[in-house]
Amino acid sequence: MQISQKISTFHGRTAPETGVLVGYGALISSYNLALPVPEKLCLISEKNRKYTTAEWEVFTPRHTPKDTLYGHLTFALKYEGVNLCLLKKLFQKVEKVEITEIVKSEPTGSYSRMIWFLYEWLMDELLDIPDLKVGNFVNLLNAELQYTGPEIISKRHRIRNNLLGTRDFCPLIRKTAKLEAIIAKNLSQQCAQSLNQFHKDLLIRASAFLLLKDSKASFAIEGEKPLHSRAQRWGKAIGQAGMNQLSTDEILRLQQIVIENARFIEMGWRKEGGFVGEHDRWTNEPIPDHLSAKWQDIDTLMNGLIATNQKLETSELDPVLAAAIIAFGFVFIHPLVDGNGRLHRYLIHHVLARMNFAQKGIVFPVSSAILNRIDDYRLVLEAYSAPLLEWIEWKVTAKNNVDITNETIDYYRYFDATRQAEFLYECVEQTITEIIPQEVDYLQKYDAMKRFLDNSFEMPDKTVALLIHFLEQNNGKLSKRAITGEFESLTEKEIEEIENEYNRLNS
């Protein structure tokens, strides 16, 4: 069977030059695999040069693999890393005996053992091959290509399984220049050092403001403007993130906090299809932007997500990467009828807190950073959802919902979370370098202005808060309404003095 093919375009993607498609791309084409194309594909150049573009990794002719299943699998594992969803789709099409023959042809080879392990792990089925007794242990994931999890030794294959998750939920993250650069900044330590210079009482007050800010931002992302009491209630829940271990019961408890009025919503895991999108204005039929996991798969997926979360909590994986895997995995599965978005963002707080990314008592208002970059956020969600629409088959139900008719579980448990991790880390950086310092700075200036007003005018706290609010609203000047209303007792000289002091503090 010929696997390699010369191409200039592939699945609507233009190659940087005409060349031979190899590795995962060639396997997708030859075996007609039903999944989105990986973000990067591999090409053998005809011009003896090696380079990288946003969508292509171009190799010299000497890198050309043998044009066999084993040859392309070896090339892919060596240069592209492990793609669990693709490998699962491939193994479902390839005869079991063919994989067995590959392993028996090189029983101690590193890549044949990796293929052997991956087949049995993904298919949950043993090959007719005796346990390996000799040879060094080999890492499954190449740490130069992908981020790795805690090692689990497989004596049968003499493999160190360093996957990030479990069989039921295991997204992976590629190592990119962007992620490596931002991880090197050690933002957690940078945040701690920055906050250590402030008094504890100030940080407690800042945290209270940040909780409310994050709660309101999370509702705003959903297009909601909740009552102050509802925002406070959800902010209080965010403040407790990380205190309880993640479980099904904990997620359902949090859903009850998010959903103020459950009269028209079935709480708990979905018992029907789900999608994010619109309904046709004439027929009322679904127009999905995102198709949620089949409701029949939710128990398996969520049990896998919770188990993977427990595994990562005690690992050395960067906490922000772990948060991206768990939080975005949750929102892609979309296990609830309502509340998925806010719980998705709550899980970011939960993982960061459990993995001690920030000092106790300080909440990261990540939702505020997401709201500031709402268009990028939508693109990151669509980067996962849009390519999947082609591969998910569905029909309209009597209630104008969706009913998925093909097997889709692997799309939700074995996705590439690289773009989501990059986006989340950028939001965390903005939170640490801009949003938290701005809030602390605001409180310091507020306190200084309050002291000035106390000392000079003996104003009560309520009046101070109102006066500062008016100054903030009118760029450091008291409006005519304020002067002739609440503050009519102030003289012109006193007003000028107050305005000057406010502008001096905020210059």
Distance CA 20, CA 66 (A): 12
Distance CA 333, CA 202 (A): 39
Distance CA 361, CA 204 (A): 7
- Domain count within the chain: 3
Same domain, 356 and 398: yes
Bridge partner list, 153? 160
Please name the helix (run of DSSP H) or strand (run of DSSP E) that holds residue 52, with its range, or none. Answer: strand 51-52
- Paired tokens of 57: 């990794």
Q: What is the gyration radius of the CA atoms in the chain, in angstroms?
A: 28
Same domain, 494 and 394: no
Quickly tell me which residue has 């900044």 as its tokens.
Answer: 185
**Counting Cβ atoms within 10 Å, is residue 25 exposed (0-12), middle (13-18) or buried (19+)?**
buried
In a domain, 157, yes or no: yes
Bridge partner list, 139? 160
Same domain, 72 and 156: yes
CATH number where 260 lies:
1.10.3290.10
In a domain, 171, yes or no: no
Distance CA 502, CA 471 (A): 8
Bridge pairing between strands 275-279 and 159-161: unpaired
Same domain, 242 and 125: no
In a domain, 86, yes or no: yes
pLDDT for the residue numbered 307: 97
Contact yes or no for 163/172 (Cβ under 8 A) = yes
Distance CA 164, CA 307 (A): 11
Distance CA 280, CA 406 (A): 23
Name the residue among 179, 178, 240 with its Cα closest to residue 214: 240
Contact yes or no for 298/269 (Cβ under 8 A) = yes
Distance CA 214, CA 59 (A): 46
Beta strands in 350-470 (DSSP E): 394-396, 402-404
Same domain, 28 and 80: yes
In a domain, 170, yes or no: no
Instruction: For the chain of 507 residues, list the mean pLDDT of each consecutive stretch of 10.
Output: 89 93 96 95 92 94 95 97 98 96 94 97 96 93 97 96 97 97 89 71 70 73 72 76 90 85 80 90 89 96 97 95 97 92 90 83 77 90 94 93 95 97 94 84 86 86 87 88 84 88 88
In a domain, 52, yes or no: yes
pLDDT for the residue numbered 449: 87
Residue 63: domain span = 5-161
Name the residue among 231, 254, 253, 209 with its Cα closest to residue 344: 254
Last residue in a domain, options 161, 190, 213: 161
Beta strands in 145-246 (DSSP E): 152-154, 159-161
Distance CA 147, CA 317 (A): 8
pLDDT for the residue numbered 432: 85
Model-wide pTM > 0.95: no
In a domain, 247, yes or no: yes
Same domain, 78 and 204: no
Distance CA 261, CA 162 (A): 44
Residue type, 425: Y
Quickly tell me which residue has 């890549």 as its tokens.
Answer: 111
pLDDT for the residue numbered 361: 60
Same domain, 216 and 356: yes
What SS3 class is residue 8? strand
Distance CA 315, CA 311 (A): 7
pLDDT for the residue numbered 329: 97
Last residue in a domain, options 135, 161, 187: 161
Same domain, 191 and 250: yes
Contact yes or no for 381/290 (Cβ under 8 A) = yes
Same domain, 371 and 494: no
In a domain, 319, yes or no: yes
Same domain, 391 and 456: no
Quickly tell me which residue has 């104003």 as its tokens.
Answer: 459
Residues contacting 210, CB < 8 A, separation 6+: 362, 363, 364, 365, 368, 435, 436, 439
Distance CA 277, CA 160 (A): 42
Same domain, 93 and 195: no
